[in-house]
Structure formats: structure tokens, C-alpha cells
């Protein structure tokens, strides 16, 4: 496989058609080596329009969803970012290139170790991987300028929204199959929360974010 041709095709045939047109994001996807964050057994899927299997039944989101969420979060160089759901560390790597610092939470020890190793090999020094349950965020290190949930949830926990600075943004994929929506929350200077639905998609549940209990009578 011609790696650079495959990377080019991923950007031009999958990501651009998904309205990812920010030149900085496209350039980042051209230089951060996605294949280095994919398990060896699935390396052939690194640039394919699909979710890539990881350890313990987890997955990397498809490239176009990762790219679109990154674009819509609009992370700036001076900002601090929290990611929930580290996975392989690829999204954390992308965020690290755009932000001042990134803390990423992963509740599966094997994945946390793999992601930390991947980030170290990639030479990304401003991303910290923490083995933690992301549902409560990380209040002691907040508030944050931006929060990304790298997987879907039924709804965003208030504990995470509470950790946004004024002007801070949180992006998540909300809902239940077959209809989910990527949604951006923005904390207004007044403290109120604005909500914008960005696009329709479907993504696996973020690990540890159980479905709400339903009572039947």
C-alpha cells in the first residue's frame, strides 16, 4: 500500500466531502500519522472510511467524524482541552497540535497505556493520558476551554458542562441509534449554555456511559 497516496485519498475522498474545509485541520491530517495509532493487526484499515477495532471491544471513530468534530470545536493555540475517551490516542494527538495542553481520560488501563505509548512515539509532549472514568470529567484541572467526547452518549452529563470556561465549547455525539447528532455546547458570558446541532451521524457508545434506566409498568 502506498501510505501517502492512501492518506491523500482519505482526506480528499472522505474528509473534504464531509464539509471539513478548514486548511489547518486538513494540513494536520496530512502530517499526523494516523497509521501509527492503529493496532498492527488492523493497519490496513488506517485510512478506510470505517471504525477501527481497538483493544477490549473499543474502536477508533471513522476519519471523517474525527475530522469534522475537530474542525467544529475550533481549538486555539492558547487553550486547555479535556478529551473523554482516549482510545488509541489519535484524536488527543490532533488536539495536542492545536491546543496549549490536553488531558485525555481513558477508563481501560490497557488502552490508556497504548495511547500513552503512541503519543510518546509521536513526540507529542503536551498531552497527558489519565486512567479515569470520564463521566465526572476532571474538575480539579478545569475549567477547560474545550471538551471533546470521542464517542456517543445518550446525553451530556451536567458535570462535564459545568467544567467549561465562559466561551468554552463541548462537542459530543448525542442520542440513540438510528438517529444521533453531533452537538456543540457553548457557555455564554452570562453562564447560560447555548446548544447547536451540527450534523447527523452514528457512533458507538462512549465506554462507561450507560444507557439511562427505563422503567416499565
Domain residue ranges in the chain: 3-201
Q: Write down the pLDDT at residue 215.
A: 41
pLDDT, position 211: 59
Q: How many CA atoms lie within 13 A of 27 on its CB side?
A: 5
pLDDT (0 to 100) of residue 207? 80
Cβ neighbourhood burial of 186 (10 Å; 0-12, 13-18, 19+): middle
What tens digit of pLDDT does each residue of 190-214 get? Answer: 989 999 999 999 999 998 776 554 4
Local mean pLDDT, 10-residue blocks, the chain (217 residues): 93 97 97 96 95 93 97 98 97 98 96 97 97 93 97 95 97 94 96 95 86 46
Class of domain 3-201: alpha beta
Question: In the chain, at which residue ranges do the beta strands (DSSP E only) sit?
Answer: 52-53, 59-60, 80-84, 101-106, 127-131, 144-153, 164-176, 179-187, 193-201
Q: How many helices (H) and strands (E) does the chain have?
A: 6, 9
Residue 192 sits at φ, ψ, to 5 deg, of -65, 160
Alpha-carbon gap, residue 54 to 114, rounded angstroms: 10
pTM (predicted TM-score): 0.94
The pLDDT tens digits for 14-26 are 999 999 999 999 9
Amino acid at each position: 500500500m502506498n501510505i501517502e497516496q492512501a492518506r491523500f485519498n482519505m482526506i480528499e475522498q472522505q474528509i473534504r466531502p464531509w464539509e471539513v474545509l478548514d486548511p489547518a485541520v486538513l494540513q494536520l491530517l496530512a502530517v499526523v500519522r494516523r497509521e501509527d495509532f492503529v493496532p498492527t493487526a488492523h493497519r490496513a484499515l488506517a485510512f478506510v472510511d470505517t471504525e477501527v477495532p481497538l483493544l477490549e471491544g473499543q474502536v477508533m471513530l471513522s476519519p471523517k467524524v474525527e475530522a469534522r468534530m475537530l474542525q467544529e470545536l475550533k481549538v486555539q493555540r492558547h487553550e486547555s482541552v479535556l478529551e473523554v475517551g482516549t482510545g488509541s490516542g489519535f484524536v488527543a494527538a490532533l488536539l495536542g497540535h492545536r491546543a496549549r495542553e490536553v488531558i485525555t481520560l481513558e477508563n481501560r488501563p490497557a488502552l490508556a497505556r497504548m495511547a500513552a505509548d503512541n503519543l510518546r512515539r509521536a513526540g507529542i509532549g503536551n498531552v497527558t493520558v489519565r486512567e479515569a472514568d470520564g463521566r465526572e470529567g476532571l474538575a480539579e484541572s478545569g475549567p477547560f476551554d474545550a471538551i471533546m467526547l470521542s464517542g456517543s452518549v445518550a446525553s451530556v452529563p451536567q458535570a462535564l458542562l459545568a467544567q467549561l470556561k465562559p466561551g468554552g465549547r463541548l462537542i459530543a455525539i448525542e442520542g440513540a441509534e438510528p438517529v444521533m447528532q453531533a452537538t456543540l455546547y457553548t457557555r455564554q458570558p452570562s453562564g447560560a449554555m447555548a446548544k447547536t446541532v451540527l450534523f447527523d451521524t452514528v457512533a458507538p457508545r462512549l465506554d462507561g456511559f450507560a444507557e439511562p434506566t427505563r422503567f416499565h409498568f
